[in-house]
Amino acid sequence: MGYCIARFRGTIPGMRGLVCFLAACAAMVAPLSAARNTLDFYFVDVEGGQATLIVTPAGESLLVDAGWPGFEGRDPMRIQEAMKQAGIQHIDYFWMTHYHTDHVGGLEALAEKVTIKNFVDHGDNNETNAGGQRLSASYERARAKGKRITLKVGEKLPLKGVEVLTVAANGELLMNPVKGGGAENAACAASQKKALDTTENARSLGFLLTFGKFRFLDLGDLTWNKELDLVCPKNLLGKVDVYLTTHHGMDMSGPAQIVHALAPRVAIMNNGARKGGSAPAVEVVRSSPGLEDLWQVHFAAAGGADHNAPADQIANLEEKCQGHGLKVSARKDGGFEVVNLRNQHKKTYSARR
C-alpha cells in the first residue's frame, strides 16, 4: 500500500485526503499493470553450451546452466542481458545439469556479478581428473555465495504455480509414470543400446516442467541409453509441448524412441555453429509425430542446407554472431509463442483441443 509523503499546500477542503488516496491507488496499480501472466523461457546463445533462463508469472527465476568460461566474459554477459529483458535483478535458483565446462564454466564469473540465492545440483562431480577437479572447485566457490540444494529423482523445486519434477539425477531415472505417461512404446522393439557412458553426461539432472496444461522437458546432456530407459518399454514421461533437444542435437543422444514418444509440438535446439545440430538428430526431430516446428539457436554447419530449420526460425545465421537467443512464452491453457530475438519473427501455437 502506498502513502502520501508530499506536503499538500492547496486550500480546497478534503483535497489532501483525495490526493493521498489517489497516490495509494497508483502505487497499487503499478505492480499489477506489470504483472506477468506467462511462463517465459530465454534460450541464451552460449555457442554450443547451455544457459536457459526461466521466469515464472510470480517473478521467480530459474537459470539452467551458465555456458562457457572465458571469451572475455561473453556468456555471463549474455545471461545478464536476458535477465534485463526479463526484468529481473537476481536468480532464485541456478540448476546445474552436470559438471561439464559448456554448462557450468560460466557460473563463477556470473555469481560475481549477479546474486544467486540457491544452487541446485545432482551431488558431487563424478569426473575426478584434473579438469573435473578444477570445475568442481569453481562450482564450490560460486555456490558458497548461496544455499546448496541436491535433488534426487522424484523431488521437485519449490516454484510457485510451476511444477519442476526431477526425472533424472546422478545416473538414476524416474521409475513410475507421471500423469499422462505410462503408455506402451511400440518403437522400443527396434531400439538398440550404445556403449555404456560413464561420463557426467549420463548423470545429468533432468526435469519435466508443468505449468497448467503446458509441459516442457530438459534432460541436459543425458545420453542414449538413459533416454531409452525413460521411455522403454513404457513412456514414463508422456507427451510434451516444447522439447529442448538433448545434448545440443548431437547424435550420441536423442534416439527416435524418446523423441517420438514425447511427440513435441516444438523442438528447441541449443546447438552452436559447429557443435551439435547433426543431420541424424535433425532427421529424428523432423520425423516426430505431431511436430509443428524446429527452432535453433544457431545455423548448424554440420546440417548444411537440408538439415537446418528455416532461416526465420534460427537465432544466429552466421558463426560470428551477436549472440541472439530464442524466447518462449507459455500460457496455462497449454498455448505458447516462440520469438526469434534476432528478427522478432514469432509464431503462436494455440492450446491443444
pLDDT digits over 215-259, tens only? 999 999 999 999 999 999 999 999 999 999 999 988 889 999 999
* β-sheet with 91-95: strand ranges across: 147-150, 116-121, 91-95, 61-64, 52-55, 39-43, 326-330, 336-340, 346-349
CA 55 to chain CA centroid, Å, is 10
* Percentage of the residues of the chain whose pLDDT score is greater than 70: 90
> Which whole-number Å values give the CA distances from 171 to 143, 152, 154, 161, in the listed order?
22, 10, 13, 28
Tell whether 154 and 232 lie within a shared domain: yes
Average pLDDT estimate for 38-47: 98
User: Exposure string (b/e) for 155-175, b if CB count within 10 Å is 16 or more?
Assistant: eebebeebbbbbbbbbbeebe
* Mean pLDDT, rounded, of the chain: 92
pLDDT at 314 over 80: yes
> Which whole-number Å values give the CA distances from 244 to 204, 227, 233, 270, in the listed order?
14, 13, 22, 7
Residue 64: strand, helix, or coil: strand
pLDDT at position 35 is 65
Residue 152 has which C-alpha cell? 534426487
Q: Counting every residue, how long is the chain?
A: 353
By the 8 A CB rule, do 15 and 6 touch?
Answer: no
pLDDT at position 320 is 87
Q: How many domains does the chain have?
A: 2
Tell whether 20 and 62 lie within a shared domain: no
Worst-scoring range by mean pLDDT, 14-18, 111-115, 291-295, 329-333?
14-18
User: Which pLDDT band, with edges at 50, 70 and 90, does 321 fall under?
Assistant: confident
User: Exposure string (b/e) for 116-137, b if CB count within 10 Å is 16 or more?
Assistant: bebbbbbeebbbeeeebeebbe
Between these two residues, 201 and 2, which has the higher pLDDT value?
201
Average pLDDT estimate for 71-87: 97
pLDDT at 33 over 70: no
Tell whether 53 and 22 lie within a shared domain: no
Tell whether 123 and 271 lie within a shared domain: yes
**Backbone dihedral angles phi then psi of residue 296, each to the nearest 5 degrees:** -125, 150
Tell whether 302 and 162 lie within a shared domain: yes
d(CA 177, CA 187): 18
Tell whether 7 and 133 lie within a shared domain: no
pLDDT at 22 over 70: no
Tell whether 264 and 335 lie within a shared domain: yes
By the 8 A CB rule, do 150 and 123 touch?
Answer: yes
Q: Which residues neighbour 45 within 8 Å (Cβ) at sequence distance 6 or greater?
A: 78, 297, 298, 315, 316, 321, 323, 324, 325
By the 8 A CB rule, do 285 and 258 touch?
Answer: no
Residue 339: strand, helix, or coil: strand
Could you list the residue range(s) of the whole structural domain that residue 58 is in? 36-349
By the 8 A CB rule, do 58 and 161 touch?
Answer: yes
pLDDT at 281 over 50: yes
pLDDT at position 29 is 40
pLDDT at 78 over 50: yes
Tell whether 184 and 153 lie within a shared domain: yes
pLDDT tens figures, 48-61: 999 999 999 999 99
Worst-scoring range by mean pLDDT, 15-19, 109-113, 124-128, 244-248?
15-19
User: Which pLDDT band, with edges at 50, 70 and 90, does 322 fall under?
Assistant: confident
Tell whether 75 and 102 lie within a shared domain: yes
CATH number at residue 86: 3.60.15.10
Average pLDDT estimate for 95-106: 98
Tell whether 13 and 109 lie within a shared domain: no
> End-to-end CA distance of the chain, in Å?
41
Tell whether 263 and 159 lie within a shared domain: yes
d(CA 298, CA 47): 8
Residue 120: which of 66, 73, 173 has the closest Cα? 66
Tell whether 28 and 44 lie within a shared domain: no
**Backbone dihedral angles phi then psi of residue 136, each to the nearest 5 degrees:** -60, -45
By the 8 A CB rule, do 263 and 235 touch?
Answer: no
Look up residue 351 and give its amino acid.
A
pLDDT at 313 over 50: yes
Residue-wise DSSP of 93-104: EEE---S-HHHH
* Percentage of the residues of the chain whose pLDDT score is greater than 90: 86
d(CA 74, CA 102): 12
pLDDT at 352 over 70: yes
